[in-house]
Chain A
Amino acid sequence: MNERAQLLLSIADDELILGWRDSEWTGIAPTLEEDVAFSSIAQNEIGHARALYELAAQELGTDSDALAFDRDPGEYRCAPLVELHLLDWAHTIARRYLYEEADRVRINALMHSDDAELAGLAAKIDREETYHRMHAELWAARLAAEPRFRSAVEELWPFALGVLEQELRPDLAQRVGLDVVAAHERGEHTPELAELWNVMTEVRRSIPGAQW
């Protein structure tokens, strides 16, 4: 697989798996309003994943559903950050905040890429991300003095670094105000991914090749 397809799949897998994880809050978020907003953001991320899979599918001669659902868990290229099955709101919001900051750095780099198609898609995604960032920043500011949120951010920090290529990490560290440390790198997978994959692909696997 060429470098472009690998890059597209890395980002698409991040967005799909985080979208899936965040959608696990649908119906049980802390307030009704946040439930609606959080579910909507999760859906947007899955929409971004689809657009990226479509680009990768052209490159690989397949389709976006096959890329999203027909690979083995070990073939996914997502960062461990998005796989974690986090149970409390402090960690969930800490992950959203860290992911949005990392994604901002990554999208900004892609928008300036020589690959016009990829740069165009990055710009389109960036416009929708404005609202995700607004949401994450509001929460981060509101919980800044909350010990549970601060320890969740510190705990997840090595995972957040793993979302980005080495050369982009200092940028993220500066934005978040933490130091670059050893990261949980892309390519490692947590046991949580296989569990998620089992649920996520269950219907698709039940009748292979069916058109829904």
Chain B
Amino acid sequence: MVFEIFRQEKKGQPFAHAGSVEAPDAAFADAWAREQYGRRGESEALWLVPRASIHAITEWADEFDLKYRRVDGYSIKTRLKEARERAGTTPSLDS
């Protein structure tokens, strides 16, 4: 079985994928993950997730090339400023 290992570096931080461990069962995965990802005090906590339990999404349909739904190249900063000026609600630096 392959277990994907997620590591939390400090309390309150999000868990991030750290790597994987191949083990015959969960008990071996526990022993091996401790040694591989925790023995230098580098982890606050670990999550061991059987790879089979992960629902992955890797394919995306965009048949109609709906570019207008994307924001790349669209500078919202300038447009927002213009809109605010038109509406007279430009945030003042003093307030």
Interface residues of A (CB under 8 A from B): 31-34, 36-37, 40-41, 131, 134-135, 138, 142
Q: Is B24 an interface residue (CB 8 A)?
A: yes
Given that A37-B36, A40-B39 are contacting pairs, would A131 and B31 also be in contact in the complex, using a CB cutoff of 8 Å? yes
- Complex: how many Å from CA A41 to CA B21? 18
Q: Among B24, B27, B30, B32, which residue has its beta carbon within 8 angstroms of that of A36? A: B32
Task: Among A36, A41, A135, point to the contact of B36 (Cβ < 8 A).
Answer: A36
Main secondary structure, interface of B, reads helix
B24–A34 touching, CB < 8 Å: no
When C-beta atoms are compared, the residue in chain A nearest to B30 turns out to be A134
Interface residues on chain B, number (Cβ under 8 Å): 13
Looking at the complex, which one of A31, A36, A138, A142 makes contact with B35 (CB distance below 8 Å)? A36
Q: Cβ of B35 and Cβ of A37 under 8 Å apart? A: yes
A131 to B27, CA, bound (A): 12
Classify the secondary structure of A's interface with B. helix
The answer on a CB contact under 8 Å between B27 and A138 is yes
Which residues from B are CB-within-8-Å of A40? 35, 39
Bound form: Cα–Cα A142–B32 in Å: 15
B residues whose Cβ falls under 8 Å from a Cβ of A: 21-24, 27-28, 30-32, 34-36, 39
**In the complex, what residue of chain B is closest to A32 when comparing beta carbons?**
B22
- Least CB distance from A143 to B in Å reads 11
B36 pairs with A33, CB closer than 8 A: yes
Q: What B residues does A36 contact at CB under 8 A?
A: 32, 35-36
Q: Please indicate which of the listed interface residues B27, B32, B34 has the most CB atoms of chain A within 10 Å of its own CB.
A: B32
Contacting A37 at CB < 8 Å: which of B24, B27, B31? B31
A102 to B21, CA, bound (A): 30
Question: Whose C-beta in chain A lies nearest to the C-beta of B3?
Answer: A33
Closest-CB distance, A89 to chain B (whole angstroms): 14
The distance from the CB of A121 to the nearest CB of chain B, in whole angstroms, is 20
In the bound complex, CA of A34 to CA of B21 (Å): 10
Query: What residues of chain A lie closer than 8 Å to B30, measured between beta carbons?
Result: 134
Nearest opposing residue in chain B for A142, CB measure: B24
CB distance from B74 to the nearest CB of A (A): 46
Minimum distance in angstroms from B30 CB to a CB of chain A: 8
Minimal beta-carbon separation of B7 from chain A (angstroms): 15
What A residues does B24 contact at CB under 8 A?
142
List the A side residues contacting B32 at CB < 8 Å: 33-34, 36-37
